[in-house]
Structure 1
């Protein structure tokens, strides 16, 4: 073949190859499996919110049976250790890892030099209106005015007992400026509509760094809605907060699923045998099981999550504050004690605290 012909052939082949590569590169990537045309889904089940018929059946049976039964005692509460909390808030890199249970799923976590709030709700009711809906049975462990300057707020999903508009607005107006709000996909528009503009939106396994802390949204099994027409329209999730000297996991609301084994596997290369230093896990809001099992864990399942995550310790939350389900407000810690014994988990490895109580925690790698 003449040299000129060979050169022309190579030129044409190269151009065809480049066009093919360009065509492949321009094809949109397939969306993740949990992304659907109508919104989002869980990894292990096709979640469908319960029907109106199911809801009526649950509430009718609860009324007939007189459920939930009254608690045997009020939810334990103590005065917060404000001197420690505020001194620790200013400690920077010397900050002592610590958590303070404020109530329900709201925890003040101090780690990596940051003051972090999870699913903040300080309102009197978990409801879209202030005159009706589940009423608070225990005051917040810290009032909004008692908080140190909050650097970061993580919101797990948009249900009213986790994404509380008055509390979020108040935090955005705190002295010194708004915290950063980290939320699952689809929620940023709601925050922006409320005038809250320091917002980062994440998909499952995406991360965002705040100072020395990496924030990772993880899959959990739940669902979302704030009205009748937006079910599953926004994403939900848990959070891994990874500081140099402390790894914390916050589950938000969740049913039991294989997601927690996946979370352990995902972080194992950077955690080794240690797992999370603390997992903040829901233990309340679980009865009746036929209605709640696909969305809320019971204490036995919470202990299994603790084990799946290889957590050094876990803190039980999401109990004792709002009467949302059929078990008594104070039943969850008793059920947790039974589950620990049955699964061979030490009492101190999965503990509960009084509202307002601060638990100081060992740094990563400490004996």
Structure 2
């Protein structure tokens, strides 16, 4: 195999680990990350989406990659915002979110600094020389971060769990790491002295300053390689604060809106929802794991979010759509429903969003 072929295959393998394209049936005798009782989303070995849909397998991955729907991205897609230098703490009724990139947010509320799915690496990949490469720098320099109290990792895909970044954060701030079941063991292998809370769907965790985390369902899956598919749980999180509730979803398929309706029924609506709206083409392949912009707008309405910080677009090329197509489709979806574009903000790296107070 020549170097070009090797790099192409390595890139495809990296993308498969992100996109759900390789099935490894019975590759492991058991679950190497988690053992626990059977539940409505755990069969004793693997996690699953109740009444859900599994991602496509290898043959469909090949069918997708051999298709002609891929639209090239520019090598650089700079943000119109400079790299942010956040305030050290946000208190009172204020809620401020800053996009680092992709699904990485700095959430500042109730005197706490919270990072979601922090990725500062150049690639979202199991290897350093191939796989999706970022087309803009992180929206905050690591050295300009305020002290981080809490890190939420929604699942173990490489565009959401960057072990090197987590290791740096541990050495820098020693934050509390919160993640769904099984992912704590993956992180612990790199961050040996970290403080970890592994949460199941429906769990709640008090983290101080009047803030409580709720681990909630989303429709996705997990894998770090070819032999650990669905061995760690995936989740959304509700951050309940004195300044209002925040609904953070790292990745999800729309799943007929089931989880959005359940979140509103349980939590009564949100001041802010951080919702993914990119990485959705071709939809026949991606719909079980990534929602499209029209579905994201529907999700905003179903969960009762006052405002949305839109993410999961414009940093790592994971799928076929052009780099700016998600925003064009988002604006079309909002216009179709006569909704203001201010309700759903397609965030760019370095963008600082002072979230308006919730209105009754």
Q: 2:82 aligns with which of 65, 79, 84?
A: 79
Query: 1:183 aligned to 2:179?
Result: yes
Are 2:338 and 1:338 aligned?
A: no
Are the structure 2 counterparts of residues 31 and 68 from structure 1 closer, same or farther at C-alpha, using a change threshold of 3 Å?
A: same
RMSD, matched Cα: 1.9
> Scaled by the length of structure 2, what TM-score is found?
0.85
Distance of 1:160 and 1:169 partners within structure 2: 15
Which residue of 1 is the match for residue 14 of structure 2?
none
Q: Which residue of 2 aligns with 1:353?
A: 347
Q: Which residue of 2 aligns with 1:201?
A: 198
Shift of 1:285: 0.4
1:90 aligns with 89
Q: 2:305 corresponds to which residue?
A: 311
Q: Quote the Cα distance in structure 2 between the aligned partners of 1:46 and 1:347.
A: 31
Q: Hey, what does 1:44 align to over in structure 2?
A: 51
For these two proteins, the number of residue pairs brought into alignment is 321
Matched residue of 2:261: which SS? Answer: helix
Task: Identify the residue that residue 66 of structure 2 maps to in structure 1.
Answer: 60
TM-score by length of 1: 0.83
Structure 1 residues 98 and 36, CA, compared in 2 at 3 Å: closer, same or farther? same
Task: Determine the structure 2 residue equivalent to 1:101.
Answer: 99
Structure with greater proportional helix content: 1
- Point out where structure 2 has 5 or more consecutive residues left out of the alignment: 1-35
The question of 1:266 aligning with 2:273 is answered no
Structure 1, unmatched stretches of 5+, are 1-28, 269-274
Secondary structure of 1:259 counterpart: helix
Cα gap change, 1:97 to 1:317, in 2 (>3 Å): same
Q: What is the distance in 1 between the residues matched to 2:76 and 2:48?
A: 39
Q: After the TM superposition, which segments of 4 or more aligned residues of structure 1 sit over 6 Å from their partners?
A: none
Determine which of 192, 207, 210 is the counterpart of 1:210.
207
Shift of 1:346: 1.5
8 Å Cα contact 2:149-2:175 kept in structure 1 = yes
Matches within 5 A, 1:254-293: 254-257=252-255, 258-268=258-268, 275-293=269-287
Shift of 1:72: 12
